[in-house]
Chains A and B, each alone.
Chain A
């Protein structure tokens, strides 16, 4: 099979590393060659963060560039727009509708562009928007928004539901397993 490329994008501190860990775990269990690339350090401090996940028979590059992503999961609205050029023409971009103001917006040097999702749709991109934060709060914690988003992502994979649940159990701390399974169910059925 051809190598598939996924990007997980968001703001430092939103829990994208757990999402990539879950996905990596699952894909290895499925028998694929897998590469996951993340950036640590300075960019974690509230900056824009990107994680790449690639899988297939034999994966070379660990990163995803312009026009290569089959799927982008964005934890925040304008981060989706920032990374839109990486999306393949027939790719899907799953977006959490949460808005987090970057510093230039906070200081008034720039405005938060309100209608970017509509603009992305108008450009022809397949945008799948979801209010993951509310669903996570419904599950019991806003911190589970990452799992809600991964549940939405699961709809684009041919991997049985139970296998996602197994991967969650292997990835998260046992005391948060129930919360995350609930968040996954809410995201999957939304």
Chain B
């Protein structure tokens, strides 16, 4: 049956049909739905792991146990999981193992736009790259066969446009794959120097065999063109843009296997056209390979390594005129994403802002606190970097730093990689104040459960990590819990912990306002007689409050009645409905 699938759902269906039994992942846009969809198939055991390294090692364990397994992550997640990946390249697999990685050119929801193909090359692991949802399905299935035949994990690379675009998929039926026996083999699976040194040559041989395979594999194909002036080598979503612009004018070499890359296939293709162009988003990976074959090729000298491509950006580079369009003079104000009305993070950020704190930030919805008007975040680097970062910052800033610097990290991010940073604070004793913004969910990626929520990926009851007990057991003596809707309490506890001459953790606890079980209260309204137009509430940055005709005004369709603005207003102008 033909159905519309987003790329991620098509990958999940491919995993299912390939007989995959285990999927372990950490959520990350644009990869999250692979695992959410996989969890919908009863034959697949799917889980949210605390981070990508744990997820990949779990998938490795399942492969070792003889079942087909998978883990999925966003591009920066592959950095976290790079350690197991590089050595899994040496051990190879037992049951097939597929690693899905989703890049985010244009940074729709990411902190960088790294190109994960470099990881494939560096770890010497084959990588497939689908160009639509049908290929997401087909390649995910085929990746398991490749993994088992060549005894290697296989990377499946998506980008935002493939992961989150729907196109028509024709699916098959699930193939039940029997569990392979686990056979102890320390020369293959114990990677200490004496053994690893004998595995490395096998990795090199495997890469050579895969390179030969790439010459004739079903993932790479040449589409003929009627104009031999130009030939285009491309892959993934760029293939779609190229075809959109040129149709069948120029011959296209579409690469579905982007590591290792073929040689003869490219040389033959180059010989059939007068000029060769590589169209690829982000880095010139294919282009660099083509150059090593001694070919003249045009690539990144005309195509930018920045951002996401489209049929428009590519056709501009080819000198085609811009399409006719309308324009108006009026400047349209930007509409950046922001923290929701009633977001529990806002109260804590308001207090931090009032106390002029330096805030070492982290990755999550709460990163949005960096924007106007709160502008409460000083730095954001990567998952967990707040807790480790404040330690180094305080070590060089001394007492001046300690008394006004905090780290902020969400509950899920703390589980991901904040714990080890806190161990460092407790062990090497910096007087750091870490605030865990515990909204009882993984928010930004769309509400995934995590080890602190007490529920698993299916919403069934699961183990629940006790944050207070965890912090105390690490050696933090001062662990405080506050309600971010209570500004006075937050302010008092913050001042006490900043003044304390030992490490402390403040848990700012209130569930995300978008969670279904969180019931909105009746919206507040502004009494125009009491409002003095001081605009203090404008510094609070709630999207439900705006100035109308010189007075504050609450949008009743957005307000959830959290009541924090009542505490911000010095004149008591915010009132509950009578």
Q: Chain A residues in contact with chain B, CB under 8 A?
A: 11-12, 24-25, 28, 33-48, 59-63, 65-68, 78-79, 81-82, 84-89, 101-113, 115-116, 119-120, 123-125, 142
Contact = CB atoms under 8 A, between A and B. Distances in A.
B29 A40 contact: yes
Contacts of B557: 142
22 contacts: A37-B161, A37-B164, A38-B6, A39-B164, A42-B109, A43-B108, A44-B446, A45-B339, A47-B337, A61-B311, A62-B161, A84-B325, A84-B327, A85-B325, A88-B325, A89-B325, A89-B326, A101-B543, A103-B541, A107-B372, A116-B330, A119-B329
Contacts of B535: 108
B325 A86 contact: yes
Interface stretch (B237-245, B487-495, B496-504): B237-245
Interface string B150-177: 0000000000110011111000000000
B319 interface: no
Contacts of B311: 61, 63, 65
Contacts of B325: 66-67, 84-89
A125 B165 contact: no
B334 interface: yes
A45 B367 CA distance: 12
Given A41-B108, A108-B538, A123 B335 contact: no
A143 B32 CA distance: 26
B380 interface: no
A107 B29 contact: no
B382 interface: no
B127 interface: no
Given A40-B29, A42-B109, A103-B543, A28 B538 contact: no
Highest count of chain A CB atoms <10 Å: which of B3, B310, B311, B337 = B337
Contact of A123 (B241, B327, B543): B327
Contact of B336 (A89, A103, A108, A142): A103
B134 to A, nearest CB: 11
B4 A12 contact: no
Q: Which 10 A-B pairs have the closest CB atoms?
A: A67-B323, A41-B109, A41-B29, A47-B337, A65-B312, A102-B335, A110-B333, A67-B325, A45-B337, A62-B165
Given A35-B166, A35-B167, A106-B541, 20 more contacts: A24-B4, A36-B165, A38-B6, A40-B33, A42-B368, A45-B368, A46-B335, A61-B243, A62-B166, A65-B312, A66-B312, A78-B332, A81-B328, A88-B325, A101-B543, A106-B538, A108-B538, A111-B333, A116-B330, A120-B328
A62 B337 contact: no
Interface of B: 2-4, 6, 29-30, 32-33, 108-109, 132, 160-161, 164-168, 237, 240-241, 243-244, 310-312, 322-340, 365, 368, 371-373, 444-446, 535, 538, 541, 543, 545-547, 557
A65 to B, nearest CB: 4
B2 to A, nearest CB: 7
Contacts of B373: 107
Nearest to A53: B166
A86 B327 CA distance: 9
A92 B471 CA distance: 58
A13 to B, nearest CB: 8
Contacts of B333: 78, 102, 104-105, 109-113
A82 B538 CA distance: 25
The secondary structure that dominates the B interface is: loop
Nearest to A33: B168
B243 A60 contact: yes
A113 B323 contact: no
A47 B464 CA distance: 33
Nearest to A113: B330
A28 B133 CA distance: 15
B445 A46 contact: no
A107 B539 CA distance: 7
Contact of B543 (A78, A106, A120): A106
Contacts of A40: 29-30, 32-33, 109, 164, 446
A29 to B, nearest CB: 10
Contacts of A39: 108, 160, 164
Contacts of A28: 2-4, 168
A127 B544 CA distance: 29
Given A81-B328, A103-B338, A37 B372 contact: no
B335 A103 contact: yes
A46 B167 contact: no
A45 B365 contact: yes
A104 B331 CA distance: 12
Contacts of B546: 101, 105-106
Contacts of B167: 33-36, 59, 62
Contacts of B237: 62
Given A37-B161, A107-B541, A89 B324 contact: yes
Contact of B332 (A67, A81, A108): A81
Contacts of B339: 45
Contact of A107 (B310, B444, B538): B538
A112 to B, nearest CB: 7
Nearest to A24: B4
A37 to B, nearest CB: 4
Contacts of A104: 333-334, 336, 372
Contacts of B323: 65-68, 88
A79 B333 CA distance: 10
